[in-house]
Amino acid sequence: MNNVIVLVAKRIGAAALTLLLVSAVVFAITSLLPGDAAEEALGQGATPETVAALRTELGLDQPGHLRYLHWLGGLVTGNPGQSLANHLPVSELVASRLPKSMVLAGTTAAVSVPLALLLGVLSAMFRGGKVDRVLNLFTLSMVAVPEFLVATLAVLIFAVKLHWLSALSSPPDNPTFAQFLRVYAMPVMTLSFVIVAQMARMTRAALIDQLEQTYVEMAVLKGAGPTRVVLRHALPNAIGPIANAIALSLSYLLGGAIIVETIFNYPGIASLMVDAVTSRDMPLLQTCAMIFCAVYLSLVLIADVCAIVSNPRLKGH
Amino acid sequence: MRWLDNFVGRLALSGRIGLALVAFWLLLAIFGPLLAPYEVGAVVAEDVFAPLSLAFPLGSDYLGRDMLSRVLSGTRFTAGLAFAAALSASSLGTSLALFATVSGRWIDEVVSRAMDTLISIPSKIFALVMVAAFGASVPLLLFTTALIYLPGAYRIARALAVNLNTMEYVQVARVRGEGRIYIACVEILPNMIHPILADFGLRFMFVVLLLSGMSFLGLGVQPPDADLGSLVRENISGLGEGAPAVVMPALAIAMLTIGVNLLIDSLPRAGGRNAGEP
């Protein structure tokens, strides 16, 4: 068991180090700007004196590494500065948007994980058969489809042709269940499409990996039926790799969310970040980027830990 | 043509569909603009968002321009840019991997660490940060997408190269006194070229998806140039009336990327992926 703890601790350390390096990269890129934030904020008519004054106020006259440390300190203590576009604290903007994105991501996960598991287990059970081949063709195509095609087709069918749903998704404050369904149906459907395909493929691969082991052959020889072999023998041993697959697939949500929140006008953190890019609002952009990177690294870390903990070779030494 | 028969003969059905789609779209990207019925920028239709018709096979766009001509030129833009970016990522990634493998442990460690950092930034986030800092120009998009998919290419190539590096024939070459460059280029590289090519195909697909996503957000290719993603964006107001101008370019992207994915997946031993067939 000690082995496992040491390995997990090492992975956590490595992830923390990577996040630190990532923050340096993000800061370096966003501070290499040709003009700086002070000139940008004051516009064309600014005198050199006012620019210099604002620059001192924003701390832009300090050398790069000090600015980085200052910025990192602010980020860690929950005070990442002022938004340039609307002069609100970045933390306030993020706090108002982040929960909405988490609801969207949570709902998507709740819908897509069971569906993906079902599809993955089904195609592993009937591997090589007709069901498997059709599912394979379908999932293989779905991973390669851009999110905005799924989103536009969904709008076309459910909003334009059938009039069931509205094309914009701004959730009311305390939605009833029906309102919730109407708002979330299309964004969740779009996001689920791509990650269900991804997850189902990885689940299938993990399960087939187990089905090719000798203990499964033993169970078959003993006379266990195909359903029993998969559900009782292979599946429990494939839980680690499957958890790994789920965590990795959920990290695809981050990229998908950017397109989906924008197309449905959903007020989450991803559309906040796109707005920050359009208005070149660097403090806001840096914070959003770091949140995304932190979530992404955490998901990859969880995937890693699942793989380590479930590896029987590391147990009992 | 024997090799082509052999190659096609060994593909599964999904692979043949993929090959047909890829060949179709690559031919369109190369020769398509020659076949375009109208000038790309010319306003030729009387209606905006016209439906499919003989005169305008894919309808007309939000200004009344011919969609077929615009999709043809957009395909060339998308495929050309993605090809250049994927080629840079793959060749640079492979060179770096070979360099790291035949060099000492320190260089390997430093390069791998840098690549691990880059790969830890989600691709769309990285692209957004780059565009925010430097603006969305075609050279920047090319550089950014190449940089984003470099670490993945490096990882695959390094795993292959490290394996080959321990082979006996490489050790023989080393004992024979061959230099590092000779070992990398003559002994290792030729033996990893097939998985690298398959990986290149995947990089191409990723770049197409990322670029069209960025253009769709209005942060990619800027007007008057238009790739397939910007075509979807500029016509999005026609979605409410179900105009083909929105759906057609999006379908074009999907057919291209699905084609690549189906083809690569049915290649024997596509590098490092969960291959579809057991």
Q: What is the pLDDT of residues A166-189, one digit of tens each?
A: 666 666 666 777 777 777 888 898
Give contacts of B 112-141 with A, CB under 8 A.
113, 116-118, 120-125, 128-133
pLDDT of B38 above 80: no
Please check whether residue A314 is in contact with residue A305, taking contact to mean a CB–CB distance below 8 angstroms: no
User: Would you state the pLDDT for residue B211?
Assistant: 93
Q: Cβ contacts of residue B204 below 8 Å, gap of 6+? A: B82, B83, B86, B260
User: Would you state the pLDDT for residue B207?
Assistant: 93
Position B194 in a domain: yes
Q: Cβ contacts of residue A92 below 8 Å, gap of 6+? A: none
Q: Does A243 touch chain B (CB under 8 A)?
A: no
Position A41 in a domain: no
Q: What is the pLDDT of residues A82-136, one digit of tens each?
A: 787 778 888 888 888 888 888 888 999 999 999 999 998 888 888 888 888 888 8
Q: How confident is the model at residue B94 (pLDDT cuts 50, 70, 90)?
A: very high
- β-bridge mates for residue B60, sequence order: B66
**CATH number assigned to the domain comprising residue B102:** 1.10.3720.10
What mean pLDDT do residues B255-269 have? 85
Return the residue in A148, A244, A271 with the most chain B beta carbons within 10 A, the one to mutate for interface testing: A148
User: Would you state the pLDDT for residue A20?
Assistant: 92
Position A167 in a domain: yes
Measured in degrees and rounded to the nearest 5, phi and psi for residue A272 equal -60, -40
Position A69 in a domain: no
Stretch among A14-18, A241-245, B44-48, B102-106 having the lowest mean pLDDT: B44-48
Q: How confident is the model at residue B105 (pLDDT cuts 50, 70, 90)?
A: confident
Tell me what percent of the residues of chain B surpass a pLDDT of 90: 26
Reading the block at residue B127, the tokens are 């692209």
pLDDT of A36 above 90: no
Reading the block at residue A299, the tokens are 């998901």
| Closest among B71, B78, B88 to B200, alpha carbons compared | B88
What mean pLDDT do residues B211-215 have? 92
Tally the domains of chain A. 1
| Closest among B16, B23, B265 to A142, alpha carbons compared | B265
| A262 vs A164: which has the higher pLDDT | A262
Q: How confident is the model at residue B147 (pLDDT cuts 50, 70, 90)?
A: very high
Q: Which SS3 state, helix, strand or coil, does residue A26 take?
A: helix
Tell me what percent of the residues of chain B surpass a pLDDT of 70: 96
Encoded amino acid at B60, one letter: S
User: Would you state the pLDDT for residue A33?
Assistant: 62
Task: List the single residue in A155, A262, A285 with the smallest CB-CB distance to B217.
Answer: A262
Q: DSSP string spanning A183-207? A: HHHHHHHHHHHHHHHHHHHHHHHHH
User: Would you state the pLDDT for residue A168?
Assistant: 66
pTM for this predicted structure: 0.86
Position A6 in a domain: yes
What mean pLDDT do residues B192-209 have? 90
To the nearest whole number, what is the mean pLDDT of chain B? Answer: 85
Put simply, the answer to whether B232 touches A161 (Cβ < 8 Å) is no
Q: How confident is the model at residue B272 (pLDDT cuts 50, 70, 90)?
A: very low
Q: Does A216 touch chain B (CB under 8 A)?
A: no
Tally the domains of chain B. 1
To the nearest whole number, what is the mean pLDDT of chain A? Answer: 82
pLDDT of B276 above 50: no
Rounded CA gap, B261 and B263, in Å? 5
Q: How many CA atoms lie within 13 A of A274 on its CB side?
A: 25
Position A202 in a domain: yes
Please check whether residue A169 is in contact with residue A182, taking contact to mean a CB–CB distance below 8 angstroms: no
- β-bridge mates for residue B43, sequence order: B65
pLDDT of B278 above 60: no
Q: Does B27 touch chain A (CB under 8 A)?
A: no
Put simply, the answer to whether A296 touches B122 (Cβ < 8 Å) is yes
Give contacts of B 211-230 with A, CB under 8 A.
212-213, 216-219, 229
Q: What is the pLDDT of residues B114-146, one digit of tens each?
A: 898 888 888 999 999 999 888 888 999 999 999
If you search the block for the tokens 């957000």, which residue do you land on?
Answer: B217
Q: Does A152 touch chain B (CB under 8 A)?
A: yes
Query: Cis omega (within 30 of 0) on the bond before B224?
Result: yes
**8-state DSSP, B54:** S
Q: Does A309 touch chain B (CB under 8 A)?
A: no
**CATH number assigned to the domain comprising residue A16:** 1.10.3720.10
User: Would you state the pLDDT for residue A148?
Assistant: 86
Q: How confident is the model at residue B273 (pLDDT cuts 50, 70, 90)?
A: very low
Put simply, the answer to whether B128 touches A22 (Cβ < 8 Å) is no
Q: What is the pLDDT of residues A38-74, one digit of tens each?
A: 666 666 667 777 777 777 766 666 777 888 888 888 8
CB-count exposure of residue A114 (10 Å: 0-12, 13-18, 19+): exposed
Position B61 in a domain: no
Reported ipTM: 0.84
User: Would you state the pLDDT for residue A143?
Assistant: 83
Q: How confident is the model at residue B222 (pLDDT cuts 50, 70, 90)?
A: confident
Q: Cβ contacts of residue A54 below 8 Å, gap of 6+? A: A38, A41, A42
Put simply, the answer to whether A273 touches B128 (Cβ < 8 Å) is yes
What mean pLDDT do residues A237-259 have? 83
C-alpha A127, offset from chain centre: 30
Position A52 in a domain: no
Rounded CA gap, B195 and B212, in Å? 26
Instruction: Please measure the distance between the N-terminal and C-terminal CA atoms of chain B and give it in whole angstroms.
Output: 29
Position A39 in a domain: no
User: Would you state the pLDDT for residue A167?
Assistant: 65
Stated as kind and residue range, the H or E segment containing A76 is helix A64-76
Rounded CA gap, A228 and A316, in Å? 28
User: Would you state the pLDDT for residue A42?
Assistant: 66
Which residues of chain A are within 8 Å of residue B128 when distances are taken between CB atoms?
258, 273-274, 277, 285, 289
User: Would you state the pLDDT for residue A45?
Assistant: 67
Q: How confident is the model at residue B271 (pLDDT cuts 50, 70, 90)?
A: very low
pLDDT of A1 above 50: yes
Position A59 in a domain: no
Length reported for chain A: 317
Q: How confident is the model at residue A193 (pLDDT cuts 50, 70, 90)?
A: confident
Q: What is the pLDDT of residues A277-317, one digit of tens each?
A: 888 888 888 899 999 999 999 988 888 888 788 776 665 54
Range of the domain at A301: 2-33+78-315
Q: Given CA atoms A40, A46, A49, A53 in this order, what sign does their dihedral have?
A: negative
Rounded CA gap, B205 and B253, in Å? 10
User: Would you state the pLDDT for residue B187?
Assistant: 84
User: Would you state the pLDDT for residue A41?
Assistant: 63
Position B2 in a domain: no
Range of the domain at B225: 19-30+67-269
pLDDT of B36 above 80: no
Rounded CA gap, A20 and A64, in Å? 16
Position B59 in a domain: no
